[in-house]
Structure 1
Amino acid sequence: MIIVCGEALFDVFSDGDTDTGFALSARVGGSPFNLAIGLARLGRRPMFFGGLSADLFGRKLADTLAREGVDTSCAPRPDAATALVTIDVDADGVPAYTLYGDQTADRSVTVADLERVPPDAAVIHVGSYCMAIEPVASTLRTLVTRQHRRSLIAFDPNVRLTIQPDRQIWTDAIAWMLPMTDLLKISDEDIGHLYPGLPPRAFIDMALDAGVALVVVTRGGEGVLAGTATLALELPAVKVDVVDTVGAGDTF
């Protein structure tokens, strides 16, 4: 059993100007949400542990997960709104993310909700900004502590400084997670945001020294670096015509 923990939200895009504002489209999203669906499409039946609101957006998120074959029986349903994230893509195709909403369902998951999470999971994946905002961050740390050496722990920081601008909170979260993590997936962009000037290979060495078994650094079109205690790999990226990078790394 794989349990994916973190946020489910709506990404909001502008489809252009109108006379009085913008035409907007809203699409289901969130890195852990996308990962859970990807696993289901690969024939797994993952569980999703993240706050799902009872509002219009939360119902759509829950329905989408269920339709895709993701088990939501352990997902809390807090009395809180769904997070909305606007995505503004610049001329170079680089997206910028802005979170709208406070005390939203994704961050309102508490330690009491952990009773829902089966202790016999083979894999616990935690990730994205839910590891850097409270109270959900403390809840997920409690879960990781409970499952350490009981489940394989996978971690994807997916750093979003527009959502949690305090870099120290991010680096503290990563420092805490490294000794608890078996599989770490991080992007070169994440490393650049939090550790300016630190080469990806040096970060891999740092994470391995802290106890991570496998570190994977994605680098977009430059391919991927991976390292274990006994092996270092560099693999090229598949050449594609890039249209939209939003969510591209969530299910790597």
Structure 2
Amino acid sequence: MIVVCGEALFDVFSDGETPDGYALSARFGGSPFNLAVGLARLGATPLFFGGLSNDMFGRKLTAALQSEGVDISVAPRPAASTALVTVDVGANGTPTYTLYGSATAEREVTTADLAPLPLDAAAIHVGSYCMAVEPVASTLKALVTRQQGRSLIAFDPNVRLTIQPDRSVWTDAISWMLPVTDLLKISDEDIELVFPGLAPQAFIDLALGAGVALVVVTLGGNGVLAATRAVGTLSLPAQNVTVVDTVGAGDTFQAALLSHLSRQRLLTRAALETADRPALLAALHFAGRAAAITCSRRGADMPRLEEVPDHD
């Protein structure tokens, strides 16, 4: 079982201008929500641990997770509203996010909510802005501390300065996580936002030195870098695809990576530390193919296992 921690919310897109404003389209969103759905579609067994509201949006998110086969039996249900995030997609397909709402359900998760989470989970995934807002950030740190050595700890910062504008909060969160993380996925954009001027390879060296077993840096259209201490750094080109937008591409990559590692019995720290070059390349190629499919669709429409080609 892979426990996915963090936000479930609604992304709000513009469907174009109208005489008196905009036509809006609201779609399921939140990096951890996307990841949980992606894992389920790719054949893994995800358990979602994030605050779900009882408002109309929260009920829809709950129903969506259930329909995808995501276990929500331990998801907290705080008396708070669902966060809404507008997505402004630029000409190159890159999204800009703006949050509407505060003290929303995804934030109101406390250490008291941790009790029902299984101690024997194969992996715990944390990340996105729930690692940078309280009280949920402290709750997830407590969970990581509890599970370190019991479960593989996966982390994707997914930095959102429009939601938490204080860079030092992100820097502190990443610095705290590096020594306790087994699998780190981060984008080059995130590195530049939090550590301006630090090259991806320099960050990889920093993360490996801090104790991360597998570091993956996604480079958008320039592909991906990945490294372990045993294998060194691998470089893969991006998949050729007609990009509609890149919403959910990173979440798809992480879902595909985790699901592939799980199927290959590599979802442990020891397995990642000793994995050889062919095994790592196979995992990364699979993740890249899955992410390319999401880029060819509007929004975070994650692929199913049968849609992902066996080879490039």
Q: TM-score range by the shorter chain?
A: over 0.9
Give the letter aligned to residue 185 of structure 2.
K
Q: Which runs of 5+ in 1 are unaligned?
A: none
Cα offset, 1:67, TM superposition: 0.3
Q: CA RMSD in A?
A: 0.8
Cα offset, 1:241, TM superposition: 1.1
Measured in 1, the distance between the counterparts of 2:245 and 2:93 equals 7
**1:237 match:** 238
**1:66 match:** 66
Map of 1:223-234 to 2, 5 A cutoff? Answer: 223-231=223-231, 232-234=233-235
**1:199 match:** 199
**1:251 match:** 252
Cα offset, 1:19, TM superposition: 2.1
**2:21 match:** 21
SS at match of 2:159: coil
Measured in 1, the distance between the counterparts of 2:6 and 2:47 equals 11
Give the letter aligned to residue 235 of structure 2.
E
**1:101 match:** 101
Q: Is the 8 A contact 1:75 1:116 kept in 2?
A: no
Question: Would you say how many aligned residue pairs link Structure 1 and Structure 2?
Answer: 252
Measured in 1, the distance between the counterparts of 2:39 and 2:17 equals 37
Cα offset, 1:64, TM superposition: 0.4
Give the letter aligned to residue 88 of structure 2.
D
Measured in 2, the distance between the counterparts of 1:76 and 1:93 equals 34
Q: Which structure dedicates a bigger proportion of its chain to strand?
A: 1
SS at match of 1:241: coil
Cα offset, 1:42, TM superposition: 1.5
Deviations 1:109-153 (A, max 9, x none): 011000121111010000100000000000000000000111000
Map of 1:1-252 to 2, 5 A cutoff? Answer: 1-231=1-231, 232-252=233-253
Measured in 2, the distance between the counterparts of 1:4 and 1:236 equals 28
Cα offset, 1:94, TM superposition: 2.3
Cα offset, 1:22, TM superposition: 1.2
Deviations 1:18-52 (A, max 9, x none): 22221111000111111111111122221000000
Cα offset, 1:90, TM superposition: 2.3
**2:262 match:** none
Return the TM-score normalized by structure 1: 0.98
Give the letter aligned to residue 169 of structure 2.
I
Deviations 1:33-84 (A, max 9, x none): 1111111112222100000000000001010000000000010000000000
Comparing 227-236 with 164-173, which one deviates more in the overlay? Answer: 227-236
Cα offset, 1:209, TM superposition: 0.4
Q: Which structure dedicates a bigger proportion of its chain to helix?
A: 2
Measured in 1, the distance between the counterparts of 2:90 and 2:34 equals 23
Return the TM-score normalized by structure 2: 0.80
Comparing 34-43 with 136-145, which one deviates more in the overlay? Answer: 34-43
SS at match of 1:105: coil
Measured in 1, the distance between the counterparts of 2:161 and 2:12 equals 18
SS at match of 2:193: helix
Cα offset, 1:246, TM superposition: 1.0
Question: Hey, which bits of structure 1, 4+ residues long, moved more than 4 A?
Answer: none
Percent same amino acid among aligned pairs? 75
Give the letter aligned to residue 241 of structure 1.
T
Measured in 1, the distance between the counterparts of 2:221 and 2:92 equals 14
